[in-house]
Amino acid sequence: MRNDRGIVLLNALIVVLVLALVSATLLTRSGAAMMRAVSVQDAERLDHHLDAAENLVQMLLAEAGRDGQIVHPGQDWAAETHVYRIGDGQVRIRITDLQGRMNVNWLAGSEDEMVKDAFTRLFQQIELPLPLLDELRDYLAPGGPRSLPTYLRRSFPVQPRGGPAPTLEALRIVNGFDAASFATLSDYAAALPWDSRVNLNTAPPAVLAALLAPFPADVRAEFLRPDRDGPIEHLKELRDLTIAVLETEDLSDLPLDRMTVTSRWFAADIHAEHEGRTASRRVILHRVDLDDAQPRVVLRWALPD
């Protein structure tokens, strides 16, 4: 009898232990599932914040470049940072005029010496080695770069197709560019359709100096003055002064067809915060038609936090 009781007690203890282990496992899985659910909800909430911020960006850019009006850094959209509360979170927005930068896609198969010279001067101004410019031109060459074997031999092989880049970020893999040099280039260049022009009002001094170098010294001095009163209202200002200085209306050897005073392409970096969690996104916007009520989002992608 005593042995039977011992066996029964032992079996009972084993059953209790098994039940305890099963309960602990279920509780652990339940807790993990709850944590995953909360994480998914937080991610969805941040996505909603980012979506709302996109709408805010479109509102901020509603009048920028509409009907061909001038675009300049004194306008509301150009504030260094826009901060908005959304519920119990917030978003921070920074908008950039992409047409205030040199268009790398001008290099895609172009034999235009003015383009080559302008980029050479830009790289010298921003202290990037000229061999990097050669690599960039090679990468964008129609049909793919001549240095294709070096891309195929990488630990993660890539096969560039050549031609215009869809975004500047697509050029991170160009031979020779590290994080620092690419970050420098990103402040002065963009990847846009070939026929886009540089906005003289929003271009930084290094870009202006690179573009205006072929103009007479008096013209360069006037349009590079940091204390200019107000934006350039019309490209005619540059044209008329150049004609007066050169005493000729033949300006065919100057890159006036690469310049403008308005813009249709913008980028916005958006950062959302909610209860200690963050998410970031970059969007590219384009005013397809001059009379569009707002520019349209044509590209978006997540940014590392």
Looking at residue 6, its pLDDT comes to 66
273, pLDDT greater than 60: yes
Q: Is residue 140 within 8 Å of residue 115, measured between CB atoms? A: no
Looking at residue 132, its pLDDT comes to 97
**Tens digits of residue pLDDT in 232-271:** 999 999 999 999 999 999 999 999 999 999 999 999 999 9
Looking at residue 227, its pLDDT comes to 85
11, pLDDT greater than 90: no
Q: Is residue 71 within 8 Å of residue 65, measured between CB atoms? A: yes
Q: Which amino acid is it at 70?
A: I
Residues 6 or more apart whose CB falls under 8 angstroms from that of 175 comprise 135, 138, 139, 147, 150, 151
Whose tokens are 């067809």? That residue is: 257
Q: Is residue 267 within 8 Å of residue 285, measured between CB atoms? A: yes
Of 231, 235, 262, which Cα lies nearest the Cα of 67?
A: 262
Looking at residue 37, its pLDDT comes to 46
- In angstroms, the CA 150 to CA 183 distance is 23
Q: Is residue 189 within 8 Å of residue 167, measured between CB atoms? A: no
Looking at residue 26, its pLDDT comes to 65
Looking at residue 229, its pLDDT comes to 82
208, pLDDT greater than 80: yes
| Cα dihedral value 227, 229, 230, 234, nearest 10 | -110
**Cα R_g (the chain), whole angstroms:** 29
1, pLDDT greater than 70: no
Give the residue-averaged pLDDT of 201-214: 97
Looking at residue 31, its pLDDT comes to 60
Looking at residue 40, its pLDDT comes to 53
How sure is the predictor about 178, in pLDDT bands with cuts at 50, 70 and 90? very high
- In angstroms, the CA 235 to CA 265 distance is 18
**Tens digits of residue pLDDT in 28-83:** 665 655 555 445 567 799 999 999 999 999 999 999 999 999 999 999 999 999 99
Looking at residue 38, its pLDDT comes to 45
Q: Which residue has the higher pLDDT, 115 or 305?
A: 115
pTM of the entire structure?
0.85
Torsion sign over Cα 142, 148, 152, 158: negative
Strand, coil or helix: 199: strand
Give the residue-averaged pLDDT of 199-217: 97
How sure is the predictor about 2, in pLDDT bands with cuts at 50, 70 and 90? low
